[in-house]
A and B are shown apart, each in its own frame.
Chain A
Amino acid sequence: MGYLVAAYLVFWGVTFFYVLYLLRRQQALEERIARLRARFNPEQGEEKR
């Protein structure tokens, strides 16, 4: 039973931390994008690769 619990903890733990990592990274990137856009006029701010 210990191995079964460990496997489930690994799965849920990795999934939880990966989702958390993605959410934080997304938030940090959006904040940096917003700051950069604020420095420029709308034409430059909207420019995308």
Chain B
Amino acid sequence: MRAWERIWLGVTIALMILATLAVFLYAPREAKMGDVQRIFYFHISTAWSGFLAFAVALIGAIAYLRTRSARWDQLSHAAVEVGLVLLTMAIVTGSLWARPVWNTWWTWDPRLTTTTITWVVYLAYLLLRNAVENPETRARFAAVYAIVAFVTVPITYLSARLLRTIHPIVLGPSVSSEAQGQFGLTPRMVHTMVLSLIAWTLLFSVLLWMRYRVQRAQETLEGLEAVAEEA
């Protein structure tokens, strides 16, 4: 591991620990929901990082189509996998928060439904990608797919702001009178949320870098195996 990687990893771990401590010790206990509201900091951070990952996948896809450089395709592929892991965590933590607040683990609410669609669309990216044999066709197909798939991200974001939903909107006004679990952010809550968002963004960058390196090694190996077969 190179020096800058060690610093990067060290800062990420330190911020993750600091954010966790802030969630438990600095952020105030929410009056109506109690301690379970602290899931919010994990839930929003994993969701944000997941959508950020899909944005990186979009950038990688566009850059691949412009340059045809395999590195952009590798980045896009890595970002989708990391994004799926983070979005899965957001869904699971959201469900754990929903049980005590909404009295159900799951409901087909517009926000939850659009999030599930996003999750399925990106899972299909990974499955369909593996079905294409030719590397160039695979990369081109994956790039176009990643661009189209990104449409689900703004739809998910806007679903809770434009449609009738029980999902609370913490940042900005809620248009739905049916929102359950709504709460106002106090300054300490804002500090904790910002710290969590920074920590999780750094964690995402570390995971993306690790996954990107795996992808590069995988494709190097495939290239060497092709040479071995020809020899």
Contact = CB atoms under 8 A, between A and B. Distances in A.
Interface of A: 1, 3-4, 6-8, 10-11, 14-15, 18-19, 22-23, 25-26, 29-30, 32-33, 36-37, 39-40, 44-45, 47-49
B221 A10 contact: no
Interface of B: 20, 35-36, 38-39, 42-43, 46, 70, 85, 88-89, 92-93, 96-97, 99-100, 135, 203, 207, 210-211, 213-214, 217-228, 231
Contacts of B92: 7, 10
B93 A7 contact: yes
A33 B99 CA distance: 48
Contacts of B96: 3, 6-7, 10
Contacts, number: 85
Contacts of A48: 220, 223
B115 to A, nearest CB: 16
A19 B9 CA distance: 12
For the residues of B in contact with A, the DSSP-based class is helix
A36 B100 contact: no
